[in-house]
Amino acid sequence: MGKLIVVPTPIGNLEDITLRAIRVLKEANLILAEDTRTSGKLLKHLEIGTPQRSFHLHNEHKIVEQLVDELSSTENVFALVSDAGTPAISDPGFLLVRACIEKGVEVETLPGATAFVPALVNSGLPCDRFLFEGFLPHKKGRKKRLDALKEESRTIIFYESPYRVVKALEQFIEVFGADRKCSATRELTKIYEENVRGTLAEVLLHFQEKAPKGEFVIVVEGLKA
């Protein structure tokens, strides 16, 4: 029987890949990639010639069973990568991992880059207990999800695109209050990384005056007892 190895890839700076991840990507029989063009740039940089196959949000339901069958009937090793960070964390991967476990195919997950951990630690907000929400629904269910977090005492972590950052901060103020502490981190590990800390009102004002760019991690203080 084969094996699935989940491999985190850099979220920006290409130096943020482990030696172990490089070895696995070289030795794997196949790399399952969210976007082969994006992964191809990393593989070219690392001088890795392992073949790739597309595995993304739009085809994962269709090909999960086929991939598990391949792993069940061979001794092949498949490496799973996303465009950036750790697969299955707001990226494709969960369905394949679950299917492999159900079929008895070995799954190994390497430690490595993921955006919310450095953003949380860098926020200055409590890190001992936190809630990772990832991306909120764009429309349906968004307000309901936020209302359910109103009494949450743990630090809350959100992912957001630059196009919805201002709207998200406005909604956070409606639910959590303008004085709740917040940290918004963009372009993590890249040249233009920026951390904006303050109250929700202060962080909103910053991005109303300066157009948001890049992918965001927004960390919000929990409700104080």
11-27 pLDDT, tens digit each = 999 999 999 999 999 99
Q: Decide if 29 contacts 111 (C-beta within 8 A).
A: no
* pLDDT the model gives residue 139: 83
Strands 155-160 and 181-186: unpaired
**Distance of alpha carbon 81 from alpha carbon 35, whole angstroms:** 9
120 with 127: CB under 8 angstroms? yes
- Using DSSP, state whether 24 is helix, strand or coil: helix
Mean pLDDT, residues 98-117: 96
pLDDT of residue 138: 86
Can you point out the beta strands (E) in the chain? 3-6, 30-33, 52-54, 77-81, 106-109, 130-135, 155-160, 181-186, 194-199, 216-220
Q: What is the pTM of this model?
A: 0.92
> Which is nearest to 76 in space by CA: 45, 53, 46?
53
Q: What is the pLDDT of residue 203?
A: 98
With CA atoms as reference, report the closest residue to 42 among 101, 83, 3, 90.
83
Whether 225 has a pLDDT exceeding 90, the answer reads: no
Tokens of 126: 């409590």
Digit-coded pLDDT (tens) for 2-12: 999 999 999 99
Q: Which of 86, 3, 12 is nearest to 42 (CA)?
A: 12
Residue range 51-84, pLDDT digits in tens: 999 999 899 899 999 999 999 999 999 999 999 9
| Highest-confidence segment of 112-116, 135-139, 198-202 | 198-202
Answer whether residue 187 shows pLDDT above 90. Answer: yes
Residue 147 has φ and ψ, to the nearest 5°, of -60, -35
Give the whole-number percent of the chain exceeding pLDDT 90.
96
Single-letter amino acid code for the residue at 137 = P
